[in-house]
Amino acid sequence: MTARTTTTSLVCNPSSVSIGQTTNCTATVRDTSAGTPITPGGSVSFSVIPAGSGSFNGACILSQTVLGTSSCSISYTPSSVAAQTINGAFMGDSDHSTSQGTFSLNVNLQSTITTIVCATSSVPVDSTDSCTTTVRDSPSGSGSTAPSGSVSLTLDSSASSFATCNLQATNATASSCSVNYVPASGTEGSHTISVSYTPDPSHASSSNSITLTVVQRSTVTTISCATPVVVGQSSQCTATVTDSAGSGATSPSGSVSFTSTGLSGISGSPCSLIASSTAGVASCSATFAASSPGTATINAAYTSTDSDHAPSQTAAASSITVNKRTTTTSLSCTSPIVVNQVSTCTVTVQDNSTAGTPVTPFGQASFATTGAGLINPSSCTLIPGSIGTASCTTSFTRSSTGTSTVSASYVGDTTHSGSVSTTVSIIVGLRTTIIGLSCSTPVVVDQASLCVATVNDTSPGTPITPTGNVALQSSGTGSFLNSCVLSGSGTTASCSVNYLPTGVGTGTHTITARYDGDSTHSSASPPATSSISVSPRVTATSLTCTSSITVSTSGSCTVTVTDISQGTFVTPTGTVAFTTNSTGSFSPASSCSLSGTTSSATCSLTYTPSVGGHHNITSTYSGDGTHASSIPSSFNIATSGHPTTTTVTCTAQIVVNQASTCTATVTDTSTAGTTAPRGTVSFTQTGAAGIVSPANCTLVNPTSSSQSCTATFTPSASGTATITGTYVPSSSDTSHNGSTSTSFSIAINLRTTSTTITCVTPVVVNQASSCTATVTDTSQSSSVQTPGGTVAFTETGISGSFSGSPCNLVPAQTVGTASCVASFTAPSVSGTAVVNANYTSTDTDHASSSTTSGRSITVNARSTSISVSCTTPVTVNVASTCTATVTDTASGTGIDPTGTVAFAETGSGSLTPGSCSLSGGKCSVSFTGAASGSDTVTGTYSGDQAHSQSSSSPATITVDPRTTSTALACASPVVVNQASTCNASVTDTDAGTPIVPSGNVTFLVAGSGSLSSASCRLSGGSCSVTFTGSATGTSTIAASYAGDPAHSPSPTSSAVIT
């Protein structure tokens, strides 16, 4: 019987495996013969082509699956990669023939999974990141083994690896290895690290990647500043930037910007970082110097200029304490000074902080004094000087002697602390004086000389008129007839005294005037002197004798000596000597002693001629202690001869110091045989003092019966002088008798003067006009004399006063002219003043005079300026105070303007009142704006008696609208379609008198419903609309007031209606 045929088929599952992975191969044997199948039995043997490519595990014993079919299974584990054919051979059984089948098995390498993990996914440049690669057999199973080999790592799209490492087994199915990744400088950003596994013979390659972010290196910024400092002192602030990213630290580069709060004053920001010797650290500095004290908080922010470092800023600020700068205050005052002299005190405040640039102090310095005296002003405003120094001045005056101390204090300013000076002593002494003395000269004994002493205050500052007495002394014999008590004004005081010399002495009496001072003046040094030429009193001698006697007959001769000087007469004393030109004898002697009680004294003797002819008797008076000798007087005694007459004629009207020509004519009065007399004529003078020159003249200009000669008489004082001529025949003239003329009277007048005046014009009220009076000797120019005396000033027209009137004349350079000065001041009103001057002579030579026409001084009103300042801004209906300040701008001593200022405004507003009256140069009105905007106010000053009018520039006032508030009230709740009345009230909320707001209120609705009107017009500050809701719920009504000319808008008000 033929064995039944069979087929064998093989199926391995999985059909594709990896080396070492087991696949289960099932052999199915089927009975393929006809008829009723018989299930094959037995076993199936397996083999592999190529042989040795793997191993089978177990035996495959068939078992029936269905009738005629049986199967069995065996496991197969490949050990190499190849296309393997599994053979299954059925060896047959008693019923079946053999058969075999094959199965193509795909054997692959063991698949792997490569993973990479780095210690951090964000790594700073130049830092190390450890990356671990793990390669796993996948899927891991009974046949899995730990991959061996190496992995290589590449960065981004680079074709070359940057690292490799050899795998080390970590367990039965996985291996790993690690490398370090150090991102290079400048590689910040996202980077991909790719890892590739290079397999061993059993494993397939695999790869993977990881994305890393390379970041800038973190930094930390810290700051430190020098503290404390003073205003203007630099504080160095150092910012330190540190690389805080750990390993691989590099020094940051870039800049640091500094900011300050509290105070400003940073310079040198930003600064560029400089690497330090410590790796990863860089620093730079800026300077902070504040202009005011306080506390400054300094922060720093780092900005990188490299690509590797991240910016940073300080977490903790540095505080700088800025103190005020210290100062020193020094004070210097003029010392010593005199009473009423200003001592200028200069206070100097110096920034003495040693650090930083000095800052010039500003503000006020105040003064304090101990002892008598006045500081004015008591404070002064510092004026900048050299850098860091400021100074200002004040004045100190004291009206009494002594020592005062002054100190100065500085209260400081916004940048400086205060300081106090040391005290300064001011020594106040007496005011210095000089003394002058002028005495009229020449005089004769017992003729008074007027001595005028003048004491001048010569110290600087406000003068004080010297007071007290002037003590006078004479170097000669004489007496002062009165005391010299000073009086005057301004810098000058004077007094006069009459000095009466009672003896000639040396002929010069030196008068010394000494002023010993008063409570405010020192004595004058040196004393003043004035020399008075004191001459003996002038005398005139007249002689009368028995005119005709015979020889050996005695005749009587009487001589009269008269004191002809001015002043109180003194009876001449002494003796008169007699001589004769012929032969004769005097009895009892040739001299006689004078006696008398009036201005004249006489004595007599007898003369007895021994021969005939003319006997010319001459009497000579030689003077005494107070009298000068006089011109000898002669008398001709004729024992025989022709009679003669002597006549004297002179210029009858002259003035002091003007010469009068006197002509003496001697005529032979015989009835027959007349001849011209020869000889001399001697002149005598009585009355007003003067000098005849020559005292004797020789007859000339003969006619048949006469001859004449001339002399001049020059008076030294006014009055009447009588001139008498006595003819004395010459020794050769034996035919004529002597004769004496009758007296000729000469009227001697004071020298005429003219007084003129000049004044500075125009001036303004309270400004002094200097008026100069000039007195000129207008008599004969050849004998001109400089006038002495005083000039008093008067004025008509506007009222005013003189300072220095009367004034003492001072000789000018031109002989015959003297002048002095007074000042005229009109203290309160403008107009015209007419000034005249009256000269009063204090010498014996000049007549007084007055100006023939006055000098007009135009006194103008003082100029003014006006400024108006108003408080601004104000709101509508709130008063702005407008103050007008009128300033006296003229030269001289200022006067506070009086009168009214009228105000005017442009814009919408009113002034109350429209004008105001000045007090202390100021007055104010109120301006009230009626609408917002800009208004201007000007002031016009109308002037007063002393001031001219002026107008101000406009002062601008900003008038702001008045503030308001809006309140809205609506009836709530209501029902749908029921009207709710919404009332808006606008209230004036500003200061001052309120104004009821006008204008419109606008309404808006948020919700369902409608308004009866979108707006309403205010009346009495309120108005209303109605709202009707169209659906249930809540609606919000908003009311907005837009303002009017006097009011500003107010915030929107809302109300909710339910």
pLDDT greater than 80 at residue 552: no
Beta bridge partners of 257: 301
738 Cβ contact list (under 8 Å, min separation 6): 614, 616, 634, 635, 636, 637, 638, 644, 679, 726, 727, 728, 729
Beta bridge partners of 266: 288
448 Cβ contact list (under 8 Å, min separation 6): 481, 498, 499, 500, 567
Distance CA 1021, CA 1017 (A): 9
* Residue 998 CB neighbours (<10 A): 16
Q: What is the pLDDT of residue 448?
A: 85
* Residue 468 CB neighbours (<10 A): 17
pTM of the model: 0.43
Which of 756-760, 988-992, 1017-1021 has the lowest average pLDDT? 988-992
* Segment 780-797 mean pLDDT: 89
Q: Report whether 972 contacts 1029 (CB < 8 A).
A: no
Both tokens of 172, joined, read 């039965």
| 849-850 vs 831-841, strand pairing mode | antiparallel
278 Cβ contact list (under 8 Å, min separation 6): none
CATH 3.40.50.1980 is the classification of domain 219-323: no
* Residue 390 CB neighbours (<10 A): 24
DSSP string, 623-650: --SSB-----EEEEEESS-B-EEEEEEE
pLDDT in tens, 932-983: 888 999 999 999 988 999 999 999 998 889 899 999 999 999 888 889 999 9
Q: Report whether 349 contacts 379 (CB < 8 A).
A: no
What DSSP element (H or E) covers 937?
strand 933-941
pLDDT greater than 60 at residue 6: yes
Both tokens of 778, joined, read 């207008």
pLDDT greater than 80 at residue 143: no
541 Cβ contact list (under 8 Å, min separation 6): 559, 560, 561, 562, 576, 619, 620, 621, 630, 631, 632, 633, 684
Q: Report helix, strand or coil for 1023.
A: strand
Choose which CATH entry (2.60.40.10, 3.40.50.11740, 3.40.50.300, 2.40.50.180) describes domain 433-535: 2.60.40.10
Q: What is the pLDDT of residue 450?
A: 87
Nearest Cα to Cα of residue 465 among 407, 534, 519, 506: 519
Both tokens of 278, joined, read 């410590």
Phi-psi region of 1030 (alpha: psi -120 to 50; beta: other; left: phi over 0): alpha
HEC letters along 262-326: CCCCEECCCEECEECCCCCEEEEEEEECCCCCEEEEEEEEEEECCCCECCEECCCCEEEEEECEC
Both tokens of 485, joined, read 């008590």
428 Cβ contact list (under 8 Å, min separation 6): 336, 337, 338, 339, 341, 373, 398, 400, 401, 402, 403, 404
CATH 2.60.40.10 is the classification of domain 6-108: yes
Is residue 610 very low, low, confident or very high in pLDDT (cuts 50, 70, 90)? confident
Both tokens of 978, joined, read 């029921």
Both tokens of 929, joined, read 């704006």
pLDDT greater than 70 at residue 1: no
pLDDT greater than 90 at residue 1058: no
Which of 45-54, 184-193, 638-647, 834-843 has the lowest average pLDDT? 638-647
Distance CA 145, CA 1033 (A): 78
* Segment 449-474 mean pLDDT: 91
Let me know the angle formed at the C-alpha of 839 by 834 and 844, rounded to the nearest 5 degrees: 175
DSSP state of 782: G
* Residue 448 CB neighbours (<10 A): 20
CATH 2.60.40.10 is the classification of domain 753-860: yes
Both tokens of 785, joined, read 């004399």
Task: Check if 219-323 and 433-535 are the same fold.
Answer: yes
Distance CA 735, CA 677 (A): 8
Distance CA 89, CA 40 (A): 13
Distance CA 699, CA 708 (A): 5
Q: For domain 112-215, which architecture applies? A: Sandwich (2.60)
Greatest extent of the chain over all pairs of C-alpha atoms, in Å: 260
How many helices, marked H, and strands, marked E, lie in the chain? 0, 97
pLDDT greater than 60 at residue 1041: yes
Which amino acid is located at 351 in the chain?
D
Distance CA 626, CA 505 (A): 9
696 Cβ contact list (under 8 Å, min separation 6): 631, 680, 681, 682, 683
pLDDT greater than 60 at residue 140: no
Nearest Cα to Cα of residue 498 among 488, 511, 508: 511
pLDDT in tens, 880-908: 999 999 999 987 788 899 999 999 999 88
Choose which CATH entry (2.60.40.10, 2.60.120.650, 1.20.1060.10, 3.40.50.920) describes domain 327-429: 2.60.40.10
Distance CA 737, CA 667 (A): 10
Both tokens of 564, joined, read 């002809």
Q: Report whether 594 contacts 543 (CB < 8 A).
A: no
Distance CA 336, CA 857 (A): 41
Distance CA 707, CA 699 (A): 5
Preceding amide of 384 cis, omega within 30: no
Q: Report helix, strand or coil for 781.
A: helix
pLDDT in tens, 97-121: 999 999 999 888 888 899 899 888 8
Q: What is the pLDDT of residue 444?
A: 87
Q: Report helix, strand or coil for 555.
A: strand
Q: Report whether 779 contacts 751 (CB < 8 A).
A: yes
Q: Report helix, strand or coil for 585.
A: strand
What residue spans define the domains of the chain? Answer: 6-108, 112-215, 219-323, 327-429, 433-535, 536-640, 642-749, 753-860, 864-960, 964-1057
Q: What is the pLDDT of residue 48?
A: 93
Choose which CATH entry (2.170.190.11, 2.60.40.10, 3.30.1490.20, 1.10.287.110) describes domain 964-1057: 2.60.40.10
Nearest Cα to Cα of residue 204 among 14, 19, 53: 19
* Segment 193-200 mean pLDDT: 91
CATH number of 642-749: 2.60.40.10
Both tokens of 1015, joined, read 């707006």
CATH number of 536-640: 2.60.40.10
pLDDT in tens, 407-430: 999 999 888 999 999 999 999 999
Count of positions (residues) in the chain: 1058
Let me know the angle formed at the C-alpha of 611 by 608 and 614, rounded to the nearest 5 degrees: 85
Beta bridge partners of 915: 902
Fold (topology level) of 864-960: Immunoglobulin-like (2.60.40)
Q: What is the pLDDT of residue 185?
A: 85
Burial of residue 670, with CB atoms counted within 10 A of its CB: 0-12 exposed, 13-18 middle, 19 or more buried: middle
Distance CA 474, CA 529 (A): 9
Q: Report whether 839 contacts 449 (CB < 8 A).
A: no
Q: How far is CA 859 from the centre of its chain?
A: 35
Distance CA 142, CA 665 (A): 194
Q: Report whether 112 contacts 150 (CB < 8 A).
A: no
Nearest Cα to Cα of residue 137 among 105, 113, 117, 157: 113
* Residue 446 CB neighbours (<10 A): 20
Phi-psi region of 504 (alpha: psi -120 to 50; beta: other; left: phi over 0): alpha
* Segment 143-153 mean pLDDT: 88
Both tokens of 540, joined, read 């005139």
Q: What is the pLDDT of residue 347?
A: 96
- What Å distances lie between residue 450 and 498, 530, 595, 788, 792, CA to CA? 5, 11, 32, 11, 19
DSSP state of 212: E
H runs (alpha helix) in 504-608: none
pLDDT greater than 60 at residue 457: yes
Distance CA 937, CA 907 (A): 9
* Residue 993 CB neighbours (<10 A): 12
Both tokens of 62, joined, read 């068939």
Is residue 810 very low, low, confident or very high in pLDDT (cuts 50, 70, 90)? confident
Is residue 645 very low, low, confident or very high in pLDDT (cuts 50, 70, 90)? very high
Mean pLDDT estimate for the chain: 90
pLDDT in tens, 675-710: 899 999 999 999 888 899 998 999 998 898 999 999
